[in-house]
Structure 1
Amino acid sequence: MGEKRAYNPRKPGGGRKKLKPEYDAGKNLKEQMDAAVALYNSEMSLQAIGEELGLNPIKVRKLLITADVYESEVAEKVRDTFEEYRETQNYKEAILSTANALQLSKASVTSYLPYKKGVYFPSTAEKEKISVGAERQRRYRAMKRWRSDPTEENFWGVVVGYAGVKFKTYSGLSFSYEVRKGRNGEYTKELWIDRWEKSKSLAWSSVLLALKNIKKVGEVVDRPKALGDIRGVTYIYGMFYRFGLIDVPDDAKEKMGHPKNRKK
């Protein structure tokens, strides 16, 4: 018999070597997703993007959904239905339940959901966890929802969506606001204006009162007081201009900037 070989413990991370150590599925997915988003933002069609990237349009759509920049009624319905079932079911069961509920095939449902390996968060995720593009898309959806159904609840969704965004007052001073949560985890109906080191509160009732005083969406409002003698109207004026609810005089635009050209 030969000599007994000394035991050498396996080093951490040992095991079968990868056939393609340079291959990174997550990295490749992100690169494809970023490329698809860039082309989509330049207003190219799904078909054109697919031809540019060598992908079929369905995969392009799925990449854009994973990045949370693609919007359609079907995609939104599938996502909301799936997330509802996912609260009580595993992934595969939720797929089947969604397919049955919407009378779609499993493949169709899957094509409207983000890649499982992609960085994706549901529509209720905190804004700190989502990308700038996804946050912008969330604000767009909230505004679209309110314009099609102008209820107080939907307008509150717009206000929450713009929390943390930079605004400017009539005189050109920058500010942002925060919507805090109570002990129950629900948002309080009070905005906290962040100006330098100090914060000022702005009541939700004041925002609603100013909203009612807008005669026509998009019209020029000469000065903040034209929205009413309301506490905090200086900030409300800047918010409404950024929301696109009012326009401002040309001399004010020089100080406030154009909402579309202003940095996020």
Structure 2
Amino acid sequence: MGEKRACKARKPGGGRKKLKPEYDAGKNLKEQMESAVVLYDSEMSLQSIADALALNPIKVRKLLITVGVYESEVAEKVKNTFEEYRETQDYKTAILSTSSTLQLSKASVTSYLPYQKGVYFPSTEKEKISVGAERQRRYRAVKKLRAAPTEEHLWETVLIYQKVRFKTYSGLPFSYEIRKGRSGEYTKELWIDRRENSKSLAWSSVLLALGNIKGEIVDRPKALGDIRGVTYIYGMFYRFGLIDVPDEVKEKMNKRGYVAKS
């Protein structure tokens, strides 16, 4: 056998070069998220978005879940179950527990959870995306509600608009929230936050007012019926675009930067 060849000393910093030295995972993920939101907002299916972005539909769904615009019964169950286990378990164990409880594979559970904060993008960027995503969610919900003012679409819109500022007929600001019961499900009661006092508004009252809408312009709250809390319902319906109001009322409700029908 011939002589052994002397090994060449490796240069400092040597080794396999990156195939794509300019590749930035965080920037790439952020661009995919933004593109996915725009396409989803145009009511494209997950498969169509995946085809347009050359991605897997499951990744598209995960991107939309991370941004906060994708909703489904399964996604909600996975999120709630995982968050409950996460209070006492580490990330990986919580995934396994969620998988066992919901009888889903580990991969399925992971696909329904958002990307972890700070893994691919800084929190400031995530916050910017979330704010835009929330606006998109409201826009889509209101658009569906105006096209088909059903109880289901109204409930979806009311949930999304929690803690958003509204104004009453006289121009007084208020917001509301819907609390969850022991089962983890939302109760059908809106808690109105007006200054120091909180008042409850029954969902049945909101539905009653919805059925009482007659004509496009509703001149005063009582025109929606003699309903407890109707002054708040009036402000909500105007913001949702379910009713229009007289010009002098608009002036009061739009004062100080309040923009109607957004």
Work out whether the TM-score is over 0.5. Answer: yes
Structure 1 pair 219/99, CA: closer, same or farther in 2 (3 Å)? farther
Partner of 1:226: 223
The aligned counterpart of 2:4 is none
C-alpha deviations, 1:20-58, integer Å up to 9, x for none? Answer: 664332221111111111111111111111111111111
Supply the distance in 2 between the matched residues of 1:111 and 1:86 (Cα, whole angstroms): 17
Preserved contact between residue 206 and residue 230 of structure 1 (Cα < 8 Å): no
TM-score, with structure 1 as normaliser = 0.60
Match of 1:238 in 2: 235
Aligned counterparts, 1:199-214, within 5 A: 204-205=199-200, 211=206, 214=209
Q: Is this contact kept in 1: 2:238–2:261, CA < 8 A? A: no
C-alpha distance in structure 2 between counterparts of 1:235 and 1:226, whole Å:
13
Aligned partner of 2:95 in structure 1 is 95
Cα distance in 2, alignment partners of residues 190 and 254 from structure 1: 21
1:51 corresponding residue in structure 2? 51
CA separation of 1:113/1:99 partners in 2, compared to 1, >3 Å: closer, same or farther?
Answer: same
Classify the secondary structure of the residue corresponding to 1:131.
helix
Q: 1:247 aligns with which of 240, 243, 247?
A: 243
Among candidates 190, 193, 198, match of residue 191 of structure 1: 193
Structure 2 residue matching 1:75: 3-state secondary structure = helix
Please say if residues 207 and 236 of structure 1, whose CA atoms lie closer than 8 Å, have aligned partners that are also in contact.
no
Partner of 1:63: 63
The answer to which structure, 1 or 2, has the higher relative contact order (CA under 8 A, 6+ apart) is: 2
Task: Establish whether residue 216 from structure 1 lines up as the match of residue 218 from structure 2.
Answer: no
Alpha-carbon distance, 1:78 to partner: 1.0
Unaligned runs of 5+ in 2: 1-12, 178-189
The answer for the alignment partner of 2:181 in structure 1 is: none
User: What TM-score do you get using the length of structure 2 for normalisation?
Assistant: 0.60
Q: Note the residue ranges of structure 1 that are not aligned, 5 or more in a row.
A: 1-14, 122-126, 181-187, 193-199
Cα distance in 2 for partners of 1:107, 1:253 equals 53
Amino acid at match of 1:204: K
CA RMSD of aligned residues (A): 4.9
Alignment of 1:249-264 (within 5 A): 262=260, 264=262
Aligned identity (percent) is 53
Deviation at 1:164, TM superposition (A): 3.4
Structure 2 counterpart SS, 1:214: helix
Matched, 1:163 2:159: no
